[in-house]
């Protein structure tokens, strides 16, 4: 079993992994031996803080080991076929995670690997982030409420969280500029769950009665050349104190980090009481990854 996309992750497996993550966190045991002798090999084409550290810590907590390999320092930088790389890594490790630009590269790895493969981020999806996000939402008792994703509604984080929240039956609102709509493929997949999924372009209207407000950077890795154009359209979608005042008073703020303070979110929001959940969210990457790795290696 692999985790390549949230779209293809069976709902029962998703809920099992998230429930296990919550259980592991409550136990708080960081010296387990479940994966003693097991090795995770992580491929990094994109830089990382939380993804890398959470995967490495998760394996350490479970008694296993993690080996990190980036593209620049490996033969992949010289054009070795991804199919060959996948076959070799499968001989060295028990599970592979990959943080990449193209989803097609991940699919190629999974096609030729003989061990489980995890999407640690591609331009299409960020499923591990969404698992931790949903864990955080449940821990704060908001899983029956309204989630509003504000800003870049066509990026990998938006794709994964809209599908995950919809599978839990949440009311999902994607709030974005008209020039940057959500991806139809993911929007239709979310609607097919039977959940209420809307696209609203007015931020104040979108956050009315919101239980969860989620934002992310407006300029993803690889899009730096679009900064001027994007800033022009996204500026009205900043999550600031005035906007949050239109949501429920006890709403929680989510941001997958890193945050560009003063751009998509202001300091007074990110450092405020409603955003304490952001740091839970970051921690939960570790617990969700522990639960996911255990599931994939125990199947």
Q: Is 216 a catalytic residue?
A: yes
Cis upstream peptide for 135 (omega within 30°): no
Q: Confirm if 35 and 59 have CB atoms less than 8 A apart.
A: yes
SS3 label, residue 103:
helix
Which among 244, 246, 254 has a CA at the least distance from the CA of 142?
254
**C-beta of residue 265 within 8 angstroms of C-beta of residue 238:** yes
Question: Which of 175, 176, 251, 256 is flagged as catalytic?
Answer: 256
Contacts of 224 (CB under 8 A, 6+ apart): none
285 is catalytic: yes
Say whether 256 is catalytic.
yes
CB atoms within 10 A of CB 110: 19
Q: Strand 95-99 vs strand 65-70: parallel, antiparallel, or unpaired? A: unpaired
The answer to whether residue 261 is catalytic is no
Distance of CA 251 to the CA centre of its chain: 20
State the helix-helix crossing angle for 127-139 and 11-27, rounded to 10 degrees. Answer: 60
**Helices and strands: H and E segment counts in the chain:** 12, 9
Q: Which of 50, 52, 123, 126 is catalytic?
A: 126
Could you say which of 216, 238, 281, 289 is catalytic? 216
Beta bridge partners of 35: none
Residue among 48, 35, 218 nearest 129 (CA)? 48
Element containing residue 104 per DSSP (H, E): helix 103-112
Q: Which of 99, 140, 171, 230 is catalytic?
A: 99
Quote the CA–CA distance of 69 and 64 in Å, as a whole number: 17
Active-site residue, selected from the candidate residues 129, 135, 281, 289: 129
Annotated catalytic residue, options 171, 230, 255, 285: 285
- Burial of residue 68 (number of CB atoms within 10 Å: 0-12, 13-18, 19+): middle
Q: Which residues are identified as catalytic? A: 99, 126, 129, 216, 256, 285
């Amino acid at each position: 079993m692999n985790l390549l996309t949230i779209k293809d992750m069976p709902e029962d497996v998703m809920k099992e992994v998230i429930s296990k993550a919550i259980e592991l966190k409550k136990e708080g045991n960081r010296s387990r031996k479940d994966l003693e002798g097991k090795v995770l090999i992580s491929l990094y084409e994109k830089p990382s803080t939380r993804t890398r550290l959470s995967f490495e810590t998760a394996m350490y907590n479970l008694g296993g080991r993690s080996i990190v390999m980036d593209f620049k320092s490996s033969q992949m930088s010289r054009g070795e076929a991804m199919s060959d790389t996948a076959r070799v890594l499968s001989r060295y490790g028990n599970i592979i995670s990959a943080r990449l630009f193209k989803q097609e590269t991940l699919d190629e790895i999974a096609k030729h690997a003989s061990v489980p493969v995890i999407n640690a981020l591609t331009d299409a999806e960020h499923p591990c982030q969404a698992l931790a996000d949903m864990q955080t939402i449940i821990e704060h008792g908001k899983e029956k409420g309204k989630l509003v994703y504000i800003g870049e509604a066509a990026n990998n984080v938006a794709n994964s969280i809209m599908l995950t929240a919809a599978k839990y039956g949440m009311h999902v609102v994607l709030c974005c500029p008209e020039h940057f709509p959500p991806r139809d493929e993911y929007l239709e997949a979310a609607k097919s769950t039977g959940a209420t999924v809307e696209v609203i372009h007015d931020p104040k209207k979108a956050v009315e009665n919101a239980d969860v407000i989620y934002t992310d950077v407006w300029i993803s890795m690889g899009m730096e050349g679009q900064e001027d154009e994007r800033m022009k359209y996204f500026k009205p979608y900043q999550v600031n104190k005035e906007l949050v005042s239109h949501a429920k008073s006890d709403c929680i703020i989510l941001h997958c980090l890193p945050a560009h303070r003063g751009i998509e979110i202001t300091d007074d929001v990110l450092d405020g009481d409603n955003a304490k959940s952001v740091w839970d969210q970051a921690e939960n990457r570790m617990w969700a990854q522990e639960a996911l790795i255990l599931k994939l290696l125990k199947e």
